[in-house]
Structure 1
Amino acid sequence: MKNDGIKEVAIDDSGRLCIFPETEKFTYIYRTATEVHWDNKDMFLYSPKPREWSYLDWYKHIINVVKNECYCNLSLTKNTLFTNIPEILKKEILAL
């Protein structure tokens, strides 16, 4: 199993949760049919805009899909940036 840090966690202008790995690329993650996608231009994983799930649910889902389907542990680092993330969500993510 590979390990990679998370460079940034963000909510973009479209309302998608975005997770930027430090080095790994997940070009074929769409094949998992889990609604987790990869932006090949800007190199990040993303969810659809939340409908029924919260942002925290999507964060956990993305991390689990990457672990179980792509065999890579993504983890926060002391340098992880949080962009456009409400403080309460940041605290919930850090508590995981």
Structure 2
Amino acid sequence: MSVSHDTIIQIEIDDSGKLHIKPEYEKFIMIYRTATEVHWNTENNTLYSPTPRDRTYLEWFEQIIKVVKEECSCDLYITEQTEWINIPNQLKKEIAKAQQWP
């Protein structure tokens, strides 16, 4: 099975504390079926996690990326154009490091 690739155009922590990841093109409407607590917001076209309880935001970011790759055969990655909203600088650095991005 071939793996598709898509850029992450936005990463946001919303007012309720959920981490949202917005792919540029791909839609993951059925992601809830994976039973991994990763969901799709059809209004904003974002993947999102629950508000962190036992996982950090970095762990949720990694979980979302992993579930999309394993269950949907798509690699998501950040670029210089990725927009960061309400993401602390330290978390941005951790995400960039996890993605092996400069």
The verdict on a shared fold, with TM-score over 0.5 as the criterion, is yes
Q: CA RMSD in A?
A: 0.4
2:5 is aligned to: 3
Cα drift, residue 41 of structure 1: 1.1
In structure 2, what is the Cα distance between the partners aligned to 1:94 and 1:54? 15
What letter corresponds to residue 79 of structure 1 in structure 2? Q
Matched residue count: 96
TM-score, normalized by length of structure 1? 0.99
Among candidates 9, 18, 27, match of residue 25 of structure 1: 27
Please list every run of at least 4 consecutive aligned residues from structure 1 whose deviation after the TM superposition is greater than 2 angstroms. Answer: none
Cα deviation code 1:17-65 (max 9, x no counterpart): 0000000000000000000000011100000000010000000000000
In structure 2, what is the Cα distance between the partners aligned to 1:48 and 1:34? 10
Among candidates 14, 20, 29, match of residue 12 of structure 1: 14
In structure 2, what is the Cα distance between the partners aligned to 1:41 and 1:8? 15
Is 1:54 matched up with 2:71? Answer: no
Q: Secondary structure at the match of 1:85?
A: coil
Is 1:40 matched up with 2:42? Answer: yes
Among candidates 61, 65, 68, match of residue 67 of structure 2: 65
TM-score, normalized by length of structure 2? 0.93
What letter corresponds to residue 78 of structure 2 in structure 1? L
Q: Secondary structure at the match of 2:71?
A: helix
Is 1:76 matched up with 2:71? Answer: no
Residue identity (%): 54
Gaps of 5+ in 2: none
